[in-house]
Structure 1
């Protein structure tokens, strides 16, 4: 039975921002042990110096929803009124090298053929499970045409499954599975049916990354109804079938970091923090758990407003029987780590409560803030590494293809972005590589544009939409414009590779399609949109009322039925088409991309990138030149089987069974770049310490203009000596190419004669 508990951390501390380090009072520990991490931790100071100022207090409470929106976390989700672990566990060993277009990377499943694979499960499944397999029908030639597969799991009763999508979602009773090695066998249901199966070749990952082979001979094939078996692939190149298991279990470690908590009063103007003496602080994380879960709490603290500004303590585990020294700072942060066990345990975080008391210490009464412009630093739950714009390979690409001439005369960065988009779109005619081509493993724009994609192929350069995205992204990066690749799709037949660029002019991420020289913008404001804004509009337009998206029903008929209800003229967005795309031919050959009226083509009324944003997946980094792996293989040629994407999910967009990492908060993907978050701390009469933090790809230094004097600061703090009267301070980050970020501003009036 679940038991409701409070993880209570009571800390009594003394702090003076003006006082020297040795002025802290000695600490005595008083703790009551209850044999559990959840019992209170109690600290106090002895012989504390009295402070005559009025005792002040703060009481704050975060519900689970509020804590979720303000925190960062991984492998957790908000469910009702609680934060709980994600219950999706992916078991696979093919994703790292799946995607080759070479003929030897494909197998056929037909009459008399059985394929099988062993998968190792780390736990005994307790709830639901699914087999996720990438497979393409040949006869019949399309999904949703009656083609069926037979799955046998550990010798249990066969499961007959109709193929509705290229990725299966085959329900498997949990009783069919076991901890340890499991065997899955697949065959055709009707003897006249035929399917193609892509295989993950060891040679692909080894040749592109020099990594150790991923296949261990877990996949086998029989062409005589199971009488004899051979390893998948060949003797010289073993392979793995894209057969995976998705379990509805809490088998992953999870963590949550709270927002930075200011234990005392708010800052003046939300930026200047006056010295205080903290009397006590009590933080309670309200939880509900069961016996099999393992909860751990960690704490760190600092005198600055955010850990990224430096000077914070390391994370320290909170134990009942030991005193954590050095945590007597104004700002604290908790990290809650959960290592759930198997079974039906479902630990929950229900909220966070705070009580603190402090007295104001000696504080300046002659400093007044008259104007503040600040950009609070946003933090993401996921790592994302941007390419350094000063990377020699990027600058050589910029020089080799004369990109400075392409953008010459641009008056704004936005105009520069659009010129680079047009240049990319017009550089070659789109083509879709097939097995006669070599695998397109390169993520280097210069190599993509440098020559033939395969011998005897009329020196074709470039490639499909992915290669437009890579070339455009690296063209932007060479000018210090961050860019990342997002893939999207709706309906089973295909999808698209798009780019999001960070615009300093609009201070946001924006979708750009370099294949068709296009993007979307809001009709009322004229502001361009990002991928997630388009996804939200897609749901509102085609799945109104909260209807969930079921990709096993992505038929052309369903697509057309939904599109026929919409008049494109009433949509709040419009498409900007630059008109420089070389790939005009694709509009004739692929109606999927064609923008027409409902009467001409009712299946695609939304335009490039809008109707296509049902499923959204971000590449987890953009430093493809300086870090060659891990990356998808021949990305965009098969149906996104790599397991490293950050896949979006929400109430209407279910988790995809073939993927591992899911994004549930827009803030995790849409934080701000090239802005400065600063705080001010009085040091002594007329002297302020400025603490700064920024998320600036290729960051070089801060540029400060203090009362008209330009100052270069390489670290995160600056001592600002005030002049009598009005003082002005401007702060911005500068990247390695000299590009400036947004200006933060502080105006302070200093009256030295006022006591």
Structure 2
């Protein structure tokens, strides 16, 4: 990014600042013009302040406002930071933002999984109602509709399993052209996930793109074996309302024939001809999506990221987006302006941006811009390459010559991910009930820190008795003692005796229950005490997966991975700081020597060798059994692919949720999935990101601004916060004073001579305190 500031006073001074943003380092080049030496920059953690105080300190105060000018040029890498990229992708090689380049066509995802009321398949391979068993004479049909068949390549993706020892191929026909998928143990001997496990998996078969057509595409599957050789999963019609708010009815595009294709039935599917639904058969196309939207973060046209907001008037700006718009594509650009950075401040409506137009903004110094990309040809995409801004304003700072400056120790970061997360209301009655019935206040009594509270709840979830209800995401349905529907009756009964902390321990995982349930219990406990937590699923291609959680830690100011099945977490072996899922994943990919594919997964071939090289700590606690030997090291192998449900408000909004998640291979469309170079996108999903900010939104943040007033040495304190689930108040400390509470923060502060100090944090409705924002202010009147 290059920024040029032109300052008009009695003479013109040109300042060029070249900034290298990598790792938060800044390189400043000073230029001397006339009698002014512009070489003073004040730095803060994660924030840059490019101030003109050294110039002002050598200037005599003047009642005549100075005219300031900036010219800013940002490339795609600059504008990608903290922006929202919906159905878009930042292409680092071309330094451009473009449409996502994979399209998934499916109609089963809301309901994929074991339907409620039906038994799970067993290792003996016996028939179950929601799985179609293929053998000679049985043909299944899937119809998938394409608006445009253009694609660079295509695959059929289906959820299936092969019977033990299978040698028979699966025959597939796309619009009349046959493809043969050989048995895994015959043709894909490295793909042990299809050979060694009894679980269903996703299968991928390349299709000839010239066979695809506009409209309905007919996919047939069959085998010629005398007995069952391949089994295809069915998404039950009854489960669509559970898995989606919009796709609540199946489209009836799955059929089967028991006479070799002469007659068809679309409502009697499965091994017993007893259910209606959709086969889990999908199309994945390498082509651009139809549309996507870029939305920038809020930009301060005068002071950029500096928390010190100089007094300015009569602001004017001109903007030039840099776009590539090939034939059959379009890019519509919009802009809006505001008086303050927060959404509650006065903002203009979105309007079409006119290249180079001078916008007279008066005092509206904040800007946000948006680009809507569309293509009429799925093989071509428009691109966003960058942005240029020229701005001028009158500088009315009353503090020239005083060296007024701010050093950022920490200032909250308020960002919006591309795919918003819906956080639970921390005052929900269901959380109150959970907290009280489990006497969680007694569990954490005497804890001296937030993290100790979390450790006690982790230990509690490790051993609390649980139910095995796979269809409810109500935390009160997870634990045995709270599976009571009549709340008034329940409130008159005595609560159960809470389990003792720090015993007993188990060699390996906890005593009973699928991994999802104790971690659901932990999420409920954390939420009930005011800590935002969420579900995360991890797995690698060549092995099973695992259900764990992440919790937002205010003390560490980050998300942290925890696992209640073994009462542990991972931490950085050098710093001791607990890690989140992505940080653990990154340690894994440092050791994986190749890109994982379904044909050649790194597990089991290299799994043990890879994880043995990972330098990572595992919290042992008081467990007498080694965590590493009891699963901690083994589970590192599952950290290849991971995904979150982008919400935890299941009490407020019971649906949509995945159907019996973890019982079958994950395929619900509500997940947000991670990908990177070693573990690329999987074809069964549509929604992906490789941007940490989309997964790891900072919580309970307070962003402080100090706004100059007309009075020298007096600034207005303004604060914005993102405290999801129930903001209560701000806490503020000035120059070492005791913390005081203020529901809103918009107050004046008279600076003393020399060093001033301000600390601000938020408190939520459960009395949980957010990270401290801390600024040091220098003033020399």
Q: 2:587 aligns with which of 522, 525, 537?
A: 537
Checking the alignment, whether the CA contact within 8 Å between 2:585 and 2:640 is kept in structure 1 is yes
Checking the alignment, whether the CA contact within 8 Å between 1:104 and 1:233 is kept in structure 2 is no
Secondary structure of 2:559 counterpart: strand
1:89 corresponding residue in structure 2? 103
2:323 corresponding residue in structure 1? 287
Structure 1 pair 632/133, CA: closer, same or farther in 2 (3 Å)? same
Structure 1 pair 309/212, CA: closer, same or farther in 2 (3 Å)? closer
Between Structure 1 and Structure 2, how many residues are aligned?
A: 658
Structure 1 pair 218/560, CA: closer, same or farther in 2 (3 Å)? closer
Checking the alignment, whether the CA contact within 8 Å between 2:151 and 2:287 is kept in structure 1 is yes
Cα distance in 1 between the residues matched to 2:246 and 2:437? 31
Alignment TM-score, normalising by the size of structure 1: 0.80
Structure 1 pair 749/216, CA: closer, same or farther in 2 (3 Å)? closer
2:616 corresponding residue in structure 1? 573
Cα deviations by residue, 1:104-161 (Å, 9 ceiling, x for unpaired): 32221222211111112122323211111100112436xxxx5532111112233435
Cα distance in 1 between the residues matched to 2:113 and 2:718? 47
Checking the alignment, whether the CA contact within 8 Å between 1:129 and 1:246 is kept in structure 2 is yes
Q: 2:746 aligns with which of 718, 724, 740?
A: 718
2:89 corresponding residue in structure 1? 77
1:413 aligns with 2:463: no
Structure 1: gaps of 5 or more residues: 1-49, 434-438, 454-459, 588-592, 597-603
Checking the alignment, whether the CA contact within 8 Å between 1:205 and 1:211 is kept in structure 2 is no
Checking the alignment, whether the CA contact within 8 Å between 1:298 and 1:316 is kept in structure 2 is yes
1:340 aligns with 2:354: no
Structure 2: gaps of 5 or more residues: 1-61, 119-127, 185-190, 195-200, 484-509
Cα distance in 1 between the residues matched to 2:646 and 2:629? 30
Cα distance in 2 between the residues matched to 1:291 and 1:728? 56
Secondary structure of 1:342 counterpart: coil
Checking the alignment, whether the CA contact within 8 Å between 2:728 and 2:764 is kept in structure 1 is yes
Query: Deviation at 1:296?
Result: 0.5
Checking the alignment, whether the CA contact within 8 Å between 1:161 and 1:170 is kept in structure 2 is no
1:487 corresponding residue in structure 2? 537
1:262 corresponding residue in structure 2? 300
Q: 2:759 aligns with which of 714, 726, 730?
A: 730
Checking the alignment, whether the CA contact within 8 Å between 2:159 and 2:233 is kept in structure 1 is yes
Cα distance in 2 between the residues matched to 1:697 and 1:422? 26
Cα deviations by residue, 1:398-444 (Å, 9 ceiling, x for unpaired): 11111122222211111111111111112248x9x7xxxxx721012
Cα distance in 1 between the residues matched to 2:482 and 2:765? 34
Secondary structure of 2:163 counterpart: strand
Query: Deviation at 1:505?
Result: 1.8
Cα distance in 2 between the residues matched to 1:451 and 1:262? 53
Cα distance in 1 between the residues matched to 2:664 and 2:79? 39
Checking the alignment, whether the CA contact within 8 Å between 2:243 and 2:658 is kept in structure 1 is no
Checking the alignment, whether the CA contact within 8 Å between 1:476 and 1:483 is kept in structure 2 is yes
Checking the alignment, whether the CA contact within 8 Å between 1:647 and 1:661 is kept in structure 2 is yes
Checking the alignment, whether the CA contact within 8 Å between 1:687 and 1:719 is kept in structure 2 is no
Query: Deviation at 1:94?
Result: 0.9
1:704 aligns with 2:732: yes
Query: Deviation at 1:196?
Result: 2.5
Cα distance in 2 between the residues matched to 1:51 and 1:125? 66
Superposition pairs for residues 657-676 of structure 1, below 5 Å? 657-676=683-702
Query: Deviation at 1:494?
Result: 1.4
Checking the alignment, whether the CA contact within 8 Å between 2:154 and 2:284 is kept in structure 1 is yes
Cα distance in 1 between the residues matched to 2:633 and 2:658? 27
1:104 corresponding residue in structure 2? 129
Q: 1:158 aligns with which of 167, 179, 196?
A: 179
2:472 corresponding residue in structure 1? 442
Query: Deviation at 1:480?
Result: 1.0
Cα distance in 1 between the residues matched to 2:742 and 2:456? 34
Secondary structure of 2:178 counterpart: coil
Alignment TM-score, normalising by the size of structure 2: 0.77
Q: How big is the alpha-carbon RMSD for the aligned residues of Structure 1 and Structure 2? A: 3.3
Query: Deviation at 1:380?
Result: 1.5
Checking the alignment, whether the CA contact within 8 Å between 1:281 and 1:357 is kept in structure 2 is yes
1:114 aligns with 2:136: no
Structure 1 pair 417/567, CA: closer, same or farther in 2 (3 Å)? closer
Checking the alignment, whether the CA contact within 8 Å between 1:301 and 1:327 is kept in structure 2 is no
1:595 aligns with 2:629: yes
Superposition pairs for residues 314-329 of structure 1, below 5 Å? 314-318=349-353, 329=364
1:653 corresponding residue in structure 2? 679
